[in-house]
Structure 1
Amino acid sequence: MTVPYADRIADAVLEKFADYRNRFQTITAAAQLRFEKADWHAIQRASAARIDLYEANTEAAVEAIVEQLGEVVYDATLWHDVKRRYAQKILARNDPELAETFYNSIYLKVLKYGTLDDAHMFIRSDYEGRVIATGDRLCRTYDLGRGLVALLGQVLDDFAFDIPWENRRRDIRNLARFARRHLPPAPETGVSASVEIIRSRFFRNKGAYIVGRINLGERRVPFVLPVLNNGQGAVYVDTLIVAENDVSVIFSFTRSYFMVDVNSPSEFVGFLHSLIPMKSKAELYSSIGLYKQGKAEFYRSFLDQLDQSDDQFVIAPGTRGMVMTVFTLPSFPVVFKLIKDRFSSSKNITRDLVKDRYRLVKRHDRVGRMADTQEFTNFLFPRERFSPELIEELQQVAASSIQLDDDVITIKHLWTERRMTPLNLYIDDALARKDEEAVFHAINEYGKAIKQLAAANIFAGDMLFKNFGVTRHKRVVFYDYDEIMYLTDCKFRRIPEPLYPEQEMSGEPWYSIGVNDVFPEEFSILTACNPLVRRIFNELHGDLLDVTFWQDMQEQVRHGEIVDVFPYRKIQRFPRV
């Protein structure tokens, strides 16, 4: 009796997966039209809708499968056959690894985290390390021997939009000048030289991106060519990015996901990985909107790291949080964050509110200043790898979220996030080394992060240095989300003058404070740690202490303005003359 039921369940899961993929691709396919129309608000809505799509579809799929097949779906022993039949049915697909992950989601929702093993789930993918080639050509290929200007003209023609280039001749001239100054010279005769460009354009926020690589014999040079809409019915080339670190920043975990047409995900991600090998495949899957696959790939890399290392999980460096406790595996560049059982008395929030705020960040434009996270339920760790200090910490502050067994520690709910250097530790180290340039850069980045978040309608709330991190590219990123809120929900006020001296000398405020009231003058306490830090902050970002800055920014957001925040420096942009 089990085989017919197993076959029907496998068919039902695959049908729901195909529906999800069609919906995902439909939203993605409209990205070019939204870009050409300069409909930036529609782009933001589409981005959030596509993120919501996975959870909505898996929930609906479970309801439909239970309604269609009845209580039999709760029989855990049946799912061994379901998995086997499902694996056979997805063999011909060009996205089988995504199909496996969708199946895992359905299994976990139906069985409420039942038996977690490879007999019932795809803990390890049948397609790990494999590239699913479809026969379609992923890239356009160009011969460098035809001449630089002719090649650039052909590229702009091949990747033209349905609206014209603002000034095609100028763009070719800018690109040619840049290439001659910054790219390696053409190889000697007899050495192969070509350019490969992914056929699909990448769309995100106000930009479209053409992505590829230059092949010079054995050398590979990645590049990204950003294209912008001038708001008047034409497009132009904004710059050319060729440094591997700069290309990596464009695919950063602090950015919104790209909208890009992907036929074979494994082949697509494999090519991207060849361009920026320092990026994990998990991050690259997420960067193109397949964040659930990114989560699956992350978990497999985590299992591999456990097998290949012997260090212990420890409490993460930095100031202990009042809402979250954070630990890490030193050999793995990730932190694990879980909610404490009790919060500091100064934190007027709940567990559910913390979860909502992390999900808000997932759906919001992160403008390169907020770290992406992955949310997990019932995450299993080998107990022997936990330091005694960490186990004691978890038992003291988050006992309701952990289950200790002889060999395994189960954490019922957590987030993973890329590990960064806490900004307070970074600044302390720079001050100790008397590296004023590093302090200047960090404080400047800190202020820019706050301003760019505000322009994206995010008020960070608790803006202490300890809640920001420094990436390996020396960018400052916000990563503590329990107090964030929409900027437009804040009420920015000046501190009223005291009526008499005793009020000013009092340790308590002499004025009323509403729930969403914010007093920018109080932000001066953030830089009280050091005279140099305060001086640099006041010189660069003293306007953050003025209520007028915040009120003006609120008006800008309320009027629907979406600021230009691009993943490269202004100095890299081409002239438009």
Structure 2
Amino acid sequence: MKLSPAYRLAATVLHGFDEYRARFKQITADASRRFRDAAWRDAQQASASRINLYEEKVNDTMGRLQRTFSHEVLAHCETWGEARTHYAELISQRLDYELAETFFNSLFCSIFQHRHIRNEWMFVYSSREDAAHRSGIELCRREKVNGDWPGALAWALVEAPFENRFVDLERDTKLGAELLEAQLPPAIMQADDAQIELLKSVFYRNKGAYLVGRISGGGEQVPLVLPVLHGEGYGEEQGGDPRLHLDTVLTETDEVSIIFSFTRAYFQVEVAVPREFVDYLQQLMPHKPEGELYAAIGFFKHGKTEFFRALNRQVAKREDQFIIAPGVRGMVMAVFVLPSFRTVFKIIKDKFDPAKDVTHAVVREKYRLVKRHDRVGRMADTQEFSNFTVRQDHFDPECLEHLLAVAPSIVSLKDDKVIIKHCYTERMMTPLNIYLEECSAAEQAMVLKDYGNAIKQMAAANIFPGDMLLKNFGVTRHGRVIFYDYDEVCYLTECRFRHIPKSYSNDFQSGGAETLSIGPNDIFPEEFGPFMFANPELRRLFMEQHPELFDASYWQELQRAIIDGRVIDVYPYRNKQRFAGTVGQLVY
């Protein structure tokens, strides 16, 4: 029996998806080995490789399609519609069917340049949108507490699939139990049915391994995260065998949400059933969008699919219109928002302000750099869209007029549709400059301290933000300061941090004519103050909190550490929450 072109097309796409999934699982499964061996550089490279993998496999599959089928077949929407039907049947029993649908969409959009977005030709909506089918696979392990919280924590740690031993399990479980006693609701602490439940899979990221689940009892439940780290210095004492320790115990929903933040690198975690895995995580973090949870566990392309579906649902409600984003307008980007969706949309202007010496291609490369880099909880993740199409009446007229004026090559009108050729989306935050104008003096001090910490933590990850103006940072609902303007971002090791020579400074102040030779990558931290703060009181406070940021020697020392191969991790919880042990690490 001769197979139809549509069936063969569907089978070819599925073959490409299988190749992608096999390699994705291989990289992810090796995370336990990297953690065991403290192979931190390997972990960084694996993270970037896994992000690049999706585009590589889409391109490989595209090449296979072009070699196998004529242009007429590939360019025919109805053929793709038939292929969609066959493909849905082929993946109907798969545990990762939703990821397979997104892969199909990626090929369709590559062929049609993100046009013809219709559900009859691709998976605008899932083929199993209303299905209640469950796999029957058990995702979790459970243990009754029976009044013995140290024992329950010991079970949680010892039964986890770690190959390294713990330095002092008794100490860890004692400290953990004391923390639980201080944090848990009395109803759980005193319940006869209290139990710990943990996902069987370990969440690996950078230098940390996280056990994730919940504690329940007495009709109540709280999330539970147990961060496990390598004990500093223990490997040498034990003949090179790295030992582990429990770093803290987290039970607050907001704390867990920060660990899964859109500002952090994706976890390496083995996921048997993606849909059910995300459903479980959403029970722990009910305010976290599905798309962000998919992205957090590595499926960032399907996270984009879920984001797009959620956006379509929100736009259809017609609660509000797209408007110009509040705050100072950017020199490179035009930014607009749909307020009810808590998302910003960013497009690159046709012409930049004279102070910006970059091109469209350079800006797009900067955003790609951040996507692939460890964002250390301080840089917002982005999604990239092509030929984004919305009805004209969903835009505030002033907003649309502005976009058409500053980016006519990107934004156009066709009948009653607005077509945006290319844009980025990010989570909406309050611009730092606006936050500082509206908050109390105590809040100013706190957020300025976090602003400096954000700069330091990005630097530790080999990222220099370039433009450190307040307007380029935002404040999340948790009060954390996040960088979100990437057109001048670069690797810290590419910069040349310099002290201003005293002779030049003195000559300049006396009106002399001596000049200072400055290269394109030269940076003088002593000049940061007036550049970052127009308000002298805020500048004074910030300089008291973070004096080292204005000293070139501080930056030079960080550069040397990075060049020497030191991997500095930034842990996603506050230093005061940690148990004794690890010194000199950057946290939160």
Is residue 246 from structure 1 mapped to residue 255 from structure 2 by the alignment? yes
Tell me, in whole angstroms, the C-alpha distance in 2 between the residues paired with 1:510 and 1:149.
67
Aligned-partner SS, 2:330: coil
1:189 shift after superposition? 8.9
- Equivalent residue, structure 1, for 2:202: 201
- Counterpart of 2:564 (choices 555, 559, 571) is 559
- Equivalent residue, structure 1, for 2:380: 371
Is residue 489 from structure 1 mapped to residue 498 from structure 2 by the alignment? no
Cα 1:129/1:462, change in 2 over 3 Å: farther
Is residue 22 from structure 1 mapped to residue 13 from structure 2 by the alignment? no
Range with bigger deviation, 415-424 or 492-501: 492-501
- Equivalent residue, structure 1, for 2:54: 54
- Equivalent residue, structure 2, for 1:517: 522
The letter for the 1-side match of 2:542 is F
Tell me, in whole angstroms, the C-alpha distance in 2 between the residues paired with 1:157 and 1:112.
51
The letter for the 2-side match of 1:195 is I
After superposition, residues 120-269 of structure 1 pair within 5 angstroms as 120-128=121-129, 130=131, 133-145=134-146, 147-186=148-187, 192-230=193-231, 232=235, 233-269=242-278
Cα 1:169/1:522, change in 2 over 3 Å: same
| Contact 1:130-1:266 at 8 Å conserved across structures | no
Range with bigger deviation, 390-399 or 42-51: 390-399
Tell me, in whole angstroms, the C-alpha distance in 1 between the residues paired with 2:506 and 2:160.
69
1:188 shift after superposition? 9.8
Cα 1:491/1:149, change in 2 over 3 Å: closer
The letter for the 2-side match of 1:308 is K
| Contact 1:230-1:236 at 8 Å conserved across structures | yes
Cα 1:508/1:413, change in 2 over 3 Å: farther
After superposition, residues 408-419 of structure 1 pair within 5 angstroms as 408-419=417-428
TM-superposition CA deviations, 1:139-183 (whole Å, max 9, x none): 012223363233222222211511111111111111111122211
Cα 1:528/1:285, change in 2 over 3 Å: closer
Tell me, in whole angstroms, the C-alpha distance in 2 between the residues paired with 1:20 and 1:550.
40
The letter for the 1-side match of 2:208 is G
Cα 1:193/1:506, change in 2 over 3 Å: same
1:515 shift after superposition? 1.2
1:508 shift after superposition? 10
1:328 shift after superposition? 0.1
Tell me, in whole angstroms, the C-alpha distance in 1 between the residues paired with 2:560 and 2:119.
54
Tell me, in whole angstroms, the C-alpha distance in 1 between the residues paired with 2:149 and 2:28.
33
TM (normalized to structure 2)? 0.94
1:70 shift after superposition? 3.1
Cα 1:142/1:525, change in 2 over 3 Å: same
TM-superposition CA deviations, 1:165-220 (whole Å, max 9, x none): 11111111111111222112355999743322100000000100000011224322
Aligned-partner SS, 2:227: strand
The letter for the 1-side match of 2:20 is Y
After superposition, residues 335-350 of structure 1 pair within 5 angstroms as 335-350=344-359
Cα 1:184/1:412, change in 2 over 3 Å: same
- Equivalent residue, structure 1, for 2:473: 468
1:135 shift after superposition? 2.0
The letter for the 1-side match of 2:24 is F
- Equivalent residue, structure 1, for 2:364: 355
Tell me, in whole angstroms, the C-alpha distance in 2 between the residues paired with 1:84 and 1:340.
40
1:531 shift after superposition? 3.2
The letter for the 1-side match of 2:150 is V
1:485 shift after superposition? 0.6
| Contact 1:445-1:476 at 8 Å conserved across structures | yes
TM-superposition CA deviations, 1:87-116 (whole Å, max 9, x none): 111001001110100000011112333421
Tell me, in whole angstroms, the C-alpha distance in 2 between the residues paired with 1:503 and 1:189.
71
Cα 1:2/1:462, change in 2 over 3 Å: farther
Cα 1:84/1:508, change in 2 over 3 Å: farther
- Counterpart of 1:389 (choices 398, 422, 425) is 398
Tell me, in whole angstroms, the C-alpha distance in 1 between the residues paired with 2:489 and 2:513.
25
Cα 1:521/1:2, change in 2 over 3 Å: farther
| Contact 2:181-2:189 at 8 Å conserved across structures | no
The letter for the 1-side match of 2:579 is F
- Equivalent residue, structure 2, for 1:11: 11
Number of matched pairs: 573
Tell me, in whole angstroms, the C-alpha distance in 2 between the residues paired with 1:49 and 1:188.
44
Cα 1:79/1:507, change in 2 over 3 Å: farther
- Equivalent residue, structure 2, for 1:306: 315
Range with bigger deviation, 275-284 or 308-317: 308-317
Tell me, in whole angstroms, the C-alpha distance in 2 between the residues paired with 1:529 and 1:130.
56
| Contact 1:340-1:397 at 8 Å conserved across structures | yes
Tell me, in whole angstroms, the C-alpha distance in 2 between the residues paired with 1:2 and 1:504.
85
Aligned-partner SS, 1:400: coil
After superposition, residues 449-460 of structure 1 pair within 5 angstroms as 449-460=454-465
| RMSD (Å) for aligned C-alpha atoms | 2.1
| Contact 1:94-1:133 at 8 Å conserved across structures | no
1:2 shift after superposition? 11
Give structure 2 stretches of 5+ with no counterpart. Answer: 236-241, 583-588
The letter for the 2-side match of 1:315 is I
Tell me, in whole angstroms, the C-alpha distance in 2 between the residues paired with 1:471 and 1:347.
27
TM-superposition CA deviations, 1:56-100 (whole Å, max 9, x none): 000110101211233322222211101111111100100111010
The letter for the 2-side match of 1:379 is F
After superposition, residues 94-133 of structure 1 pair within 5 angstroms as 94-128=95-129, 130=131, 133=134
| Contact 1:94-1:132 at 8 Å conserved across structures | no
- Equivalent residue, structure 2, for 1:537: 542
Is residue 275 from structure 1 mapped to residue 274 from structure 2 by the alignment? no
The letter for the 2-side match of 1:460 is P
The letter for the 1-side match of 2:41 is H
Give structure 1 stretches of 5+ with no counterpart. Answer: none
Range with bigger deviation, 387-396 or 23-32: 387-396
After superposition, residues 33-52 of structure 1 pair within 5 angstroms as 33-52=33-52
Aligned-partner SS, 1:226: strand
* Amino-acid identity (%): 46
- Counterpart of 1:294 (choices 298, 303, 314) is 303
